[in-house]
Structure 1
Protein backbone atom coordinates (compact mmCIF):
# COMPACT_ATOMS: atom_id res chain seq x y z
CA UNK A 1 0.00 0.00 0.00
CA UNK A 2 2.93 2.34 0.61
CA UNK A 3 6.05 3.35 -1.31
CA UNK A 4 8.97 3.68 1.09
CA UNK A 5 11.00 5.68 -1.47
CA UNK A 6 8.51 8.51 -0.97
CA UNK A 7 10.12 9.32 2.36
CA UNK A 8 13.33 10.44 0.63
CA UNK A 9 13.84 14.19 0.11
CA UNK A 10 14.24 13.47 -3.61
CA UNK A 11 10.73 11.99 -3.89
CA UNK A 12 9.15 15.32 -4.85
CA UNK A 13 11.02 15.61 -8.15
CA UNK A 14 8.70 13.14 -9.84
CA UNK A 15 6.07 15.90 -9.76
CA UNK A 16 8.37 18.91 -9.90
CA UNK A 17 6.23 21.00 -12.24
CA UNK A 18 3.02 20.37 -10.27
CA UNK A 19 4.97 21.15 -7.10
CA UNK A 20 6.06 24.48 -8.54
CA UNK A 21 2.61 25.30 -9.90
CA UNK A 22 0.53 24.33 -6.89
CA UNK A 23 2.59 24.31 -3.70
CA UNK A 24 2.01 27.56 -1.79
CA UNK A 25 4.36 30.49 -2.19
CA UNK A 26 5.98 32.23 0.78
CA UNK A 27 4.56 35.68 1.49
CA UNK A 28 7.43 38.15 1.18
CA UNK A 29 5.92 40.11 4.08
CA UNK A 30 6.53 37.16 6.44
CA UNK A 31 10.22 37.11 5.51
CA UNK A 32 10.55 40.89 5.65
CA UNK A 33 8.86 41.04 9.06
CA UNK A 34 11.21 38.39 10.44
CA UNK A 35 14.29 40.17 9.10
CA UNK A 36 13.05 43.46 10.56
CA UNK A 37 12.69 41.79 13.97
CA UNK A 38 16.32 40.72 13.65
CA UNK A 39 17.48 44.27 13.06
CA UNK A 40 16.80 44.81 9.38
CA UNK A 41 19.64 45.93 7.16
CA UNK A 42 20.27 45.96 3.41
CA UNK A 43 19.77 42.89 1.19
CA UNK A 44 22.74 40.55 0.88
CA UNK A 45 23.72 37.04 -0.12
CA UNK A 46 21.43 34.18 0.83
CA UNK A 47 21.84 30.41 0.82
CA UNK A 48 18.55 28.57 0.24
CA UNK A 49 18.88 25.04 1.67
CA UNK A 50 16.74 22.42 -0.06
CA UNK A 51 15.54 25.10 -2.44
CA UNK A 52 13.17 22.80 -4.33
CA UNK A 53 11.72 24.60 -7.33
CA UNK A 54 12.82 27.97 -5.99
CA UNK A 55 9.71 29.20 -4.21
CA UNK A 56 11.47 30.59 -1.13
CA UNK A 57 14.38 31.78 -3.25
CA UNK A 58 11.98 33.72 -5.47
CA UNK A 59 10.49 35.47 -2.43
CA UNK A 60 13.96 36.38 -1.16
CA UNK A 61 14.91 37.67 -4.61
CA UNK A 62 11.92 40.02 -4.59
CA UNK A 63 13.35 41.46 -1.36
CA UNK A 64 16.63 42.14 -3.14
CA UNK A 65 18.76 39.24 -1.93
CA UNK A 66 21.24 37.39 -4.15
CA UNK A 67 20.23 33.75 -3.71
CA UNK A 68 22.19 30.53 -4.17
CA UNK A 69 20.19 27.32 -3.82
CA UNK A 70 21.28 23.82 -2.82
CA UNK A 71 18.88 21.05 -3.87
CA UNK A 72 19.31 17.25 -3.78
CA UNK A 73 16.89 16.53 -6.65
CA UNK A 74 18.10 17.52 -10.12
CA UNK A 75 14.51 17.64 -11.41
CA UNK A 76 13.51 20.22 -8.81
CA UNK A 77 16.75 22.13 -9.38
CA UNK A 78 16.01 22.34 -13.10
CA UNK A 79 12.72 24.12 -12.40
CA UNK A 80 14.44 26.48 -9.95
CA UNK A 81 17.13 27.25 -12.51
CA UNK A 82 14.43 28.10 -15.05
CA UNK A 83 13.23 30.75 -12.56
CA UNK A 84 16.72 32.27 -12.73
CA UNK A 85 17.95 30.89 -9.41
CA UNK A 86 21.58 29.78 -9.18
CA UNK A 87 21.35 26.17 -7.97
CA UNK A 88 23.99 23.64 -6.95
CA UNK A 89 22.74 20.05 -6.97
CA UNK A 90 23.50 17.92 -3.92
CA UNK A 91 22.45 17.32 -0.35
CA UNK A 92 23.17 20.11 2.10
CA UNK A 93 25.01 17.68 4.35
CA UNK A 94 27.49 16.76 1.58
CA UNK A 95 27.60 20.16 -0.13
CA UNK A 96 30.90 22.07 -0.04
CA UNK A 97 30.48 25.86 0.28
CA UNK A 98 34.04 26.32 -0.97
CA UNK A 99 34.88 28.86 1.70
CA UNK A 100 31.83 31.01 1.00
CA UNK A 101 29.92 32.64 3.84
CA UNK A 102 26.49 34.14 3.40
CA UNK A 103 24.57 36.99 4.98
CA UNK A 104 21.58 34.69 5.36
CA UNK A 105 20.78 31.00 5.40
CA UNK A 106 17.16 30.16 4.60
CA UNK A 107 15.24 26.92 4.42
CA UNK A 108 11.64 26.56 3.26
CA UNK A 109 9.61 23.46 4.09
CA UNK A 110 12.79 21.36 4.27
CA UNK A 111 14.56 21.73 7.65
CA UNK A 112 12.83 18.62 8.97
CA UNK A 113 14.28 16.59 6.08
CA UNK A 114 17.88 17.42 7.04
CA UNK A 115 20.17 15.47 9.37
CA UNK A 116 19.39 16.60 12.91
CA UNK A 117 22.99 16.17 13.97
CA UNK A 118 24.44 18.33 11.22
CA UNK A 119 21.97 20.94 9.99
CA UNK A 120 22.35 23.69 12.61
CA UNK A 121 26.12 23.26 12.88
CA UNK A 122 26.66 23.49 9.14
CA UNK A 123 24.18 26.35 8.75
CA UNK A 124 26.17 28.33 11.32
CA UNK A 125 29.41 27.61 9.47
CA UNK A 126 27.87 28.96 6.25
CA UNK A 127 27.00 32.30 7.85
CA UNK A 128 29.15 35.36 8.28
CA UNK A 129 29.38 36.72 11.83
CA UNK A 130 25.99 38.14 12.78
CA UNK A 131 24.26 36.57 9.77
CA UNK A 132 20.62 35.49 9.93
CA UNK A 133 18.85 32.18 9.58
CA UNK A 134 15.23 31.88 8.47
CA UNK A 135 13.28 28.61 8.65
CA UNK A 136 9.91 28.87 6.90
CA UNK A 137 6.88 26.62 6.56
CA UNK A 138 3.40 27.00 5.13
CA UNK A 139 0.83 25.11 7.20
CA UNK A 140 -2.43 24.54 5.36
CA UNK A 141 -5.92 23.75 6.57
CA UNK A 142 -9.44 24.06 5.21
CA UNK A 143 -12.55 26.04 5.97
CA UNK A 144 -14.92 23.97 8.17
CA UNK A 145 -17.20 22.64 5.42
CA UNK A 146 -14.26 21.51 3.31
CA UNK A 147 -12.55 19.92 6.30
CA UNK A 148 -15.70 17.96 7.17
CA UNK A 149 -16.15 16.77 3.60
CA UNK A 150 -12.54 15.61 3.32
CA UNK A 151 -12.80 13.89 6.69
CA UNK A 152 -15.70 11.81 5.38
CA UNK A 153 -13.90 10.96 2.14
CA UNK A 154 -10.69 9.85 3.84
CA UNK A 155 -12.52 7.87 6.53
CA UNK A 156 -14.33 5.94 3.81
CA UNK A 157 -11.59 5.60 1.18
CA UNK A 158 -8.58 5.21 3.48
CA UNK A 159 -9.79 3.96 6.88
CA UNK A 160 -6.24 3.23 8.04
CA UNK A 161 -5.27 6.85 7.47
CA UNK A 162 -2.34 8.27 5.56
CA UNK A 163 1.13 6.85 6.27
CA UNK A 164 3.24 8.89 8.69
CA UNK A 165 6.71 8.22 7.35
CA UNK A 166 10.09 7.51 8.86
CA UNK A 167 10.71 9.52 12.00
CA UNK A 168 7.46 11.43 11.56
CA UNK A 169 9.04 13.66 8.92
CA UNK A 170 5.83 13.85 6.92
CA UNK A 171 3.60 14.66 9.90
CA UNK A 172 5.14 17.99 10.89
CA UNK A 173 2.99 20.30 13.02
CA UNK A 174 3.30 23.89 14.19
CA UNK A 175 4.35 22.70 17.65
CA UNK A 176 7.52 21.21 16.15
CA UNK A 177 8.79 24.73 15.51
CA UNK A 178 9.38 25.19 19.25
CA UNK A 179 11.92 22.39 19.05
CA UNK A 180 13.62 23.92 16.02
CA UNK A 181 13.90 27.26 17.79
CA UNK A 182 15.48 25.55 20.79
CA UNK A 183 17.82 23.67 18.46
CA UNK A 184 19.06 26.97 17.03
CA UNK A 185 19.46 28.44 20.50
CA UNK A 186 21.49 25.45 21.65
CA UNK A 187 23.87 25.95 18.70
CA UNK A 188 24.64 29.55 19.58
CA UNK A 189 22.02 31.44 17.59
CA UNK A 190 20.42 34.40 19.36
CA UNK A 191 17.54 36.87 18.95
CA UNK A 192 15.11 34.01 18.35
CA UNK A 193 11.92 35.30 16.77
CA UNK A 194 8.83 33.85 15.15
CA UNK A 195 6.52 35.40 12.57
CA UNK A 196 3.07 34.19 11.49
CA UNK A 197 1.28 35.53 8.42
CA UNK A 198 -2.17 34.09 7.54
CA UNK A 199 -3.39 33.97 3.97
CA UNK A 200 -6.04 32.20 1.89
CA UNK A 201 -6.59 30.83 -1.58
CA UNK A 202 -9.20 28.86 -3.52
CA UNK A 203 -8.32 25.79 -5.59
CA UNK A 204 -10.44 23.85 -8.04
CA UNK A 205 -10.97 20.20 -7.23
CA UNK A 206 -8.41 19.16 -9.84
CA UNK A 207 -5.84 21.70 -8.70
CA UNK A 208 -6.32 20.52 -5.13
CA UNK A 209 -5.84 16.85 -6.00
CA UNK A 210 -2.76 17.67 -8.07
CA UNK A 211 -1.45 19.51 -4.99
CA UNK A 212 -2.14 16.52 -2.75
CA UNK A 213 -0.23 14.32 -5.19
CA UNK A 214 2.93 16.38 -4.50
CA UNK A 215 2.84 15.73 -0.75
CA UNK A 216 4.96 12.98 0.77
CA UNK A 217 2.15 11.25 2.66
CA UNK A 218 0.22 10.85 -0.59
CA UNK A 219 3.33 10.00 -2.61
CA UNK A 220 3.92 7.17 -0.14
CA UNK A 221 0.68 5.50 -1.18
CA UNK A 222 0.86 2.96 -3.97
CA UNK A 223 -0.18 4.39 -7.33
CA UNK A 224 -3.53 2.51 -7.51
CA UNK A 225 -4.51 3.52 -3.97
CA UNK A 226 -3.49 7.14 -4.52
CA UNK A 227 -5.39 7.31 -7.82
CA UNK A 228 -8.59 5.89 -6.30
CA UNK A 229 -8.37 8.23 -3.32
CA UNK A 230 -7.78 11.38 -5.36
CA UNK A 231 -10.47 10.45 -7.88
CA UNK A 232 -12.90 10.14 -4.98
CA UNK A 233 -11.81 13.50 -3.53
CA UNK A 234 -12.32 15.13 -6.94
CA UNK A 235 -15.75 13.57 -7.40
CA UNK A 236 -16.98 14.56 -3.95
CA UNK A 237 -15.72 18.14 -4.22
CA UNK A 238 -17.42 18.43 -7.60
CA UNK A 239 -20.68 16.98 -6.29
CA UNK A 240 -20.85 18.63 -2.87
CA UNK A 241 -18.65 21.75 -2.86
CA UNK A 242 -19.07 23.33 -6.27
CA UNK A 243 -15.80 21.87 -7.52
CA UNK A 244 -13.52 23.91 -5.29
CA UNK A 245 -11.95 24.05 -1.85
CA UNK A 246 -11.03 27.08 0.26
CA UNK A 247 -7.52 26.77 1.67
CA UNK A 248 -6.45 28.55 4.87
CA UNK A 249 -2.68 28.94 5.26
CA UNK A 250 -0.33 30.22 7.93
CA UNK A 251 3.22 31.01 6.89
CA UNK A 252 5.40 30.54 9.96
CA UNK A 253 9.00 31.72 10.02
CA UNK A 254 11.53 31.00 12.76
CA UNK A 255 14.39 33.51 12.62
CA UNK A 256 17.62 33.98 14.52
CA UNK A 257 21.02 35.67 14.30
CA UNK A 258 24.41 33.98 14.39
CA UNK A 259 26.90 35.04 17.03
CA UNK A 260 29.40 37.69 16.10
Structure 2
Protein backbone atom coordinates (compact mmCIF):
# COMPACT_ATOMS: atom_id res chain seq x y z
CA UNK A 1 0.00 0.00 0.00
CA UNK A 2 1.41 3.33 -1.08
CA UNK A 3 0.23 6.48 0.63
CA UNK A 4 -1.13 9.11 -1.78
CA UNK A 5 -0.68 12.74 -0.76
CA UNK A 6 -2.83 15.69 -1.73
CA UNK A 7 -0.94 18.88 -0.78
CA UNK A 8 -4.12 20.93 -0.47
CA UNK A 9 -5.79 18.40 1.84
CA UNK A 10 -2.56 18.06 3.80
CA UNK A 11 -2.32 21.81 4.22
CA UNK A 12 -5.89 21.90 5.49
CA UNK A 13 -6.04 18.77 7.67
CA UNK A 14 -2.36 18.34 8.57
CA UNK A 15 -1.19 21.86 9.40
CA UNK A 16 -0.71 20.75 13.01
CA UNK A 17 2.26 18.64 11.84
CA UNK A 18 4.57 21.60 11.27
CA UNK A 19 2.92 23.76 13.95
CA UNK A 20 3.79 21.20 16.64
CA UNK A 21 7.38 20.67 15.45
CA UNK A 22 8.94 23.19 17.83
CA UNK A 23 10.47 20.51 20.04
CA UNK A 24 12.34 18.67 17.31
CA UNK A 25 13.41 21.96 15.69
CA UNK A 26 14.86 22.98 19.05
CA UNK A 27 16.78 19.69 19.22
CA UNK A 28 18.12 20.30 15.70
CA UNK A 29 19.49 23.68 16.80
CA UNK A 30 20.23 24.65 13.21
CA UNK A 31 22.85 27.30 12.54
CA UNK A 32 23.10 29.73 9.62
CA UNK A 33 25.22 28.28 6.84
CA UNK A 34 24.79 24.65 7.87
CA UNK A 35 23.97 22.25 5.06
CA UNK A 36 20.83 20.35 6.09
CA UNK A 37 18.71 17.71 4.38
CA UNK A 38 15.00 17.70 5.25
CA UNK A 39 14.09 14.05 4.73
CA UNK A 40 10.38 13.75 3.93
CA UNK A 41 9.96 17.49 3.53
CA UNK A 42 6.30 17.26 2.49
CA UNK A 43 4.90 20.56 1.30
CA UNK A 44 7.93 22.43 2.61
CA UNK A 45 6.31 24.52 5.33
CA UNK A 46 8.80 23.49 8.01
CA UNK A 47 11.67 23.47 5.50
CA UNK A 48 10.90 27.12 4.73
CA UNK A 49 11.11 28.00 8.43
CA UNK A 50 14.57 26.46 8.65
CA UNK A 51 15.66 28.18 5.43
CA UNK A 52 14.57 31.52 6.89
CA UNK A 53 17.23 31.35 9.61
CA UNK A 54 19.96 31.08 7.00
CA UNK A 55 20.55 27.35 6.68
CA UNK A 56 21.49 25.84 3.33
CA UNK A 57 18.59 23.38 3.36
CA UNK A 58 17.45 20.91 0.72
CA UNK A 59 14.21 18.95 0.83
CA UNK A 60 13.57 15.46 -0.49
CA UNK A 61 10.25 13.64 -0.60
CA UNK A 62 8.89 10.55 -2.36
CA UNK A 63 5.71 12.39 -3.40
CA UNK A 64 5.99 14.36 -6.63
CA UNK A 65 2.97 16.46 -5.63
CA UNK A 66 4.54 17.38 -2.30
CA UNK A 67 7.85 18.24 -3.95
CA UNK A 68 6.07 20.62 -6.31
CA UNK A 69 4.30 22.21 -3.34
CA UNK A 70 7.65 22.66 -1.58
CA UNK A 71 9.19 24.19 -4.70
CA UNK A 72 6.29 26.66 -4.89
CA UNK A 73 7.51 27.98 -1.50
CA UNK A 74 10.97 28.58 -2.93
CA UNK A 75 12.47 25.41 -1.42
CA UNK A 76 15.22 23.50 -3.21
CA UNK A 77 13.52 20.10 -3.23
CA UNK A 78 13.97 16.85 -5.10
CA UNK A 79 11.80 13.80 -5.51
CA UNK A 80 13.53 10.73 -4.18
CA UNK A 81 13.29 7.66 -2.00
CA UNK A 82 14.60 7.64 1.56
CA UNK A 83 16.07 4.22 0.76
CA UNK A 84 18.07 5.61 -2.18
CA UNK A 85 18.85 9.28 -1.61
CA UNK A 86 19.80 11.27 -4.72
CA UNK A 87 22.83 12.95 -3.13
CA UNK A 88 26.60 12.28 -2.99
CA UNK A 89 28.28 11.00 0.17
CA UNK A 90 29.41 13.24 3.04
CA UNK A 91 27.31 16.22 1.97
CA UNK A 92 25.29 17.30 5.02
CA UNK A 93 25.97 18.63 8.48
CA UNK A 94 22.56 17.33 9.57
CA UNK A 95 19.71 15.21 8.30
CA UNK A 96 16.40 16.36 9.78
CA UNK A 97 13.02 14.68 9.55
CA UNK A 98 9.63 15.46 11.06
CA UNK A 99 6.60 13.15 10.88
CA UNK A 100 7.94 11.20 7.91
CA UNK A 101 10.10 8.22 8.82
CA UNK A 102 7.23 6.08 10.06
CA UNK A 103 6.14 5.92 6.37
CA UNK A 104 9.47 4.42 5.25
CA UNK A 105 9.28 0.71 4.44
CA UNK A 106 13.02 0.01 4.22
CA UNK A 107 14.23 1.32 7.58
CA UNK A 108 17.67 -0.31 7.35
CA UNK A 109 18.22 0.94 3.81
CA UNK A 110 17.13 4.44 4.86
CA UNK A 111 19.54 4.51 7.81
CA UNK A 112 22.42 3.36 5.61
CA UNK A 113 21.65 6.17 3.17
CA UNK A 114 21.40 8.80 5.91
CA UNK A 115 24.75 7.67 7.28
CA UNK A 116 26.25 7.85 3.78
CA UNK A 117 25.18 11.43 3.04
CA UNK A 118 26.10 12.80 6.48
CA UNK A 119 29.52 14.19 7.22
CA UNK A 120 31.40 12.26 9.89
CA UNK A 121 29.94 13.32 13.23
CA UNK A 122 26.94 14.85 11.49
CA UNK A 123 23.66 14.68 13.34
CA UNK A 124 20.46 12.84 12.51
CA UNK A 125 17.55 14.62 14.24
CA UNK A 126 14.10 13.13 13.94
CA UNK A 127 10.57 13.15 15.23
CA UNK A 128 8.33 10.35 13.99
CA UNK A 129 5.47 8.17 15.15
CA UNK A 130 6.50 6.01 18.10
CA UNK A 131 5.18 2.88 19.77
CA UNK A 132 1.48 3.32 20.58
CA UNK A 133 0.95 6.08 18.03
CA UNK A 134 -2.70 6.32 16.84
CA UNK A 135 -3.38 2.98 18.54
CA UNK A 136 -7.11 3.63 18.96
CA UNK A 137 -7.46 4.93 15.40
CA UNK A 138 -5.71 1.88 13.95
CA UNK A 139 -7.74 -0.62 15.99
CA UNK A 140 -11.03 1.03 15.00
CA UNK A 141 -10.08 1.26 11.33
CA UNK A 142 -8.88 -2.35 11.22
CA UNK A 143 -12.12 -3.53 12.83
CA UNK A 144 -14.23 -1.68 10.26
CA UNK A 145 -12.08 -2.86 7.35
CA UNK A 146 -12.35 -6.45 8.60
CA UNK A 147 -16.13 -6.14 8.80
CA UNK A 148 -16.18 -5.31 5.10
CA UNK A 149 -13.62 -7.91 4.07
CA UNK A 150 -10.60 -5.60 3.68
CA UNK A 151 -8.68 -6.20 6.93
CA UNK A 152 -5.36 -6.44 5.10
CA UNK A 153 -5.51 -2.85 3.82
CA UNK A 154 -4.08 -1.45 7.08
CA UNK A 155 -1.28 -4.03 7.31
CA UNK A 156 2.19 -2.48 7.36
CA UNK A 157 1.05 1.05 6.57
CA UNK A 158 3.33 2.56 9.22
CA UNK A 159 6.18 1.58 11.50
CA UNK A 160 5.98 2.84 15.09
CA UNK A 161 9.06 1.63 17.02
CA UNK A 162 9.99 1.66 20.67
CA UNK A 163 12.96 3.77 21.79
CA UNK A 164 14.96 0.64 22.67
CA UNK A 165 14.24 -1.01 19.34
CA UNK A 166 15.08 2.06 17.30
CA UNK A 167 18.22 2.78 19.33
CA UNK A 168 19.50 -0.72 18.54
CA UNK A 169 18.72 -0.31 14.85
CA UNK A 170 20.50 3.05 14.68
CA UNK A 171 23.55 1.67 16.47
CA UNK A 172 23.77 -1.21 13.99
CA UNK A 173 24.10 1.41 11.25
CA UNK A 174 26.98 3.30 12.86
CA UNK A 175 25.09 5.97 14.80
CA UNK A 176 25.69 6.99 18.39
CA UNK A 177 22.55 8.16 20.18
CA UNK A 178 22.76 11.38 22.12
CA UNK A 179 19.13 11.41 23.19
CA UNK A 180 15.96 9.45 22.42
CA UNK A 181 12.51 9.83 23.97
CA UNK A 182 8.95 8.58 23.55
CA UNK A 183 6.55 11.52 23.91
CA UNK A 184 2.75 11.10 24.28
CA UNK A 185 1.14 14.02 22.47
CA UNK A 186 -2.67 14.00 22.23
CA UNK A 187 -3.30 16.23 19.22
CA UNK A 188 -6.44 18.30 18.60
CA UNK A 189 -7.56 17.92 15.01
CA UNK A 190 -8.71 20.79 12.78
CA UNK A 191 -12.27 21.41 11.66
CA UNK A 192 -12.37 18.35 9.43
CA UNK A 193 -12.09 16.18 12.53
CA UNK A 194 -11.49 12.46 12.37
CA UNK A 195 -13.08 12.12 8.94
CA UNK A 196 -10.65 14.71 7.60
CA UNK A 197 -7.74 12.89 9.24
CA UNK A 198 -8.74 9.53 7.76
CA UNK A 199 -9.27 10.96 4.29
CA UNK A 200 -5.83 12.61 4.42
CA UNK A 201 -3.57 10.26 6.37
CA UNK A 202 -5.23 7.02 5.24
CA UNK A 203 -5.87 8.07 1.66
CA UNK A 204 -3.73 5.19 0.37
CA UNK A 205 -5.82 2.69 2.34
CA UNK A 206 -9.10 4.22 1.19
CA UNK A 207 -8.05 4.55 -2.46
CA UNK A 208 -7.71 0.76 -2.63
CA UNK A 209 -11.38 0.24 -1.68
CA UNK A 210 -14.42 0.37 -3.94
CA UNK A 211 -15.33 4.03 -4.26
CA UNK A 212 -18.89 3.54 -3.03
CA UNK A 213 -17.59 1.89 0.17
CA UNK A 214 -15.15 4.60 1.25
CA UNK A 215 -17.64 6.97 2.96
CA UNK A 216 -19.06 4.07 4.98
CA UNK A 217 -15.59 3.00 6.14
CA UNK A 218 -14.82 6.54 7.29
CA UNK A 219 -18.19 7.04 8.99
CA UNK A 220 -18.13 3.70 10.80
CA UNK A 221 -14.57 4.27 12.00
CA UNK A 222 -15.51 7.70 13.34
CA UNK A 223 -18.52 6.22 15.12
CA UNK A 224 -16.31 3.64 16.86
CA UNK A 225 -13.84 6.31 17.92
CA UNK A 226 -16.30 8.89 19.24
CA UNK A 227 -16.40 7.59 22.84
CA UNK A 228 -12.59 7.65 23.10
CA UNK A 229 -11.40 10.56 20.98
CA UNK A 230 -14.27 13.05 20.66
CA UNK A 231 -14.66 15.54 23.50
CA UNK A 232 -17.83 17.01 25.00
CA UNK A 233 -17.58 20.05 22.72
CA UNK A 234 -17.46 17.94 19.57
CA UNK A 235 -13.71 18.33 19.00
CA UNK A 236 -11.53 15.42 17.97
CA UNK A 237 -8.17 14.58 19.56
CA UNK A 238 -5.87 12.07 17.85
CA UNK A 239 -3.93 9.71 20.13
CA UNK A 240 -0.46 10.63 18.90
CA UNK A 241 2.77 9.33 20.43
CA UNK A 242 6.06 10.65 19.04
CA UNK A 243 9.55 9.20 19.01
CA UNK A 244 12.21 11.94 18.99
CA UNK A 245 15.96 11.46 18.84
CA UNK A 246 19.38 12.96 18.10
CA UNK A 247 22.00 10.58 16.73
CA UNK A 248 25.45 11.15 15.24
CA UNK A 249 27.20 9.39 12.37
CA UNK A 250 30.22 8.10 14.24
CA UNK A 251 31.64 5.22 12.16
Report the TM-score range of the alignment, normalised by the length of the smaller protein.
0.7 to 0.9
TM-score, L = length of structure 1: 0.71
Equivalent position of 1:46 in the other structure: 36
Q: 1:76 to 1:103 in 2, by over 3 A?
A: same
Deviates more, 1:151-160 or 1:227-236: 151-160
Deviation at 1:132, TM superposition (A): 0.4
Alignment of 1:254 onto 2:245: yes
* Whole-angstrom CA distance in 2 between matches of 1:82 and 1:235: 38
Asked if 1:74 is matched to 2:67, the reply is no
Question: Secondary structure at 1:77's aligned position in 2?
Answer: helix
The 1-side partners of 2:148 and 2:7 are apart by 28
Change in 2 beyond 3 A, CA 1:62/1:188: same
Count of aligned positions:
239
Q: Which residues in structure 2 correspond to 1:213-228 (within 5 Å)? A: 213-216=199-202, 218-219=205-206, 221-222=208-209, 223-228=211-216
Instruction: Give the Cα–Cα distance (whole angstroms) in 2 for the partners of residues 100 and 199 of structure 1.
Output: 34
Cα distance between partner residues in 1 of 2:214 and 2:249? 43
Structure 2's unaligned 5+ residue stretches are none
Aligned to 2:156: 169
Determine the structure 2 residue equivalent to 1:21.
12
Equivalent residue number for residue 109 of structure 2 = 118
1:150-194 deviation per Cα after TM superposition (whole angstroms, max 9, x unaligned): 97898568536974558x53243342x533321211121113421
Partner residue, 1:132? 123
Unaligned runs of 5+ in 1: 1-6
Which residue number in structure 2 is paired with residue 186 of structure 1?
172
Kindly state the Cα deviation for residue 48 of structure 1 after the two structures are TM-superposed.
1.7
Q: CA deviation at 1:17?
A: 1.7
Contact 1:50 1:72 in 2 (8 A): yes
Q: Does residue 4 of structure 2 align to residue 12 of structure 1? A: yes
CA distance in 2, matches of 1:32, 1:197: 15
Q: What whole-Å deviation, never above 9, does each CA across 1:121-153 have from its counterpart, x for those lacking one?
A: 2211111121101232146559xxxx69x9789
Any conservation in 1 of the 2:128–2:242 contact (CA below 8 Å)? Answer: yes
* Change beyond 3 A, Cα 1:92–1:198: closer
CA contact (8 A) 1:28 1:63 kept: no
Report the alpha carbon displacement of residue 71 of structure 1 after superposing the two structures with TM. 1.6
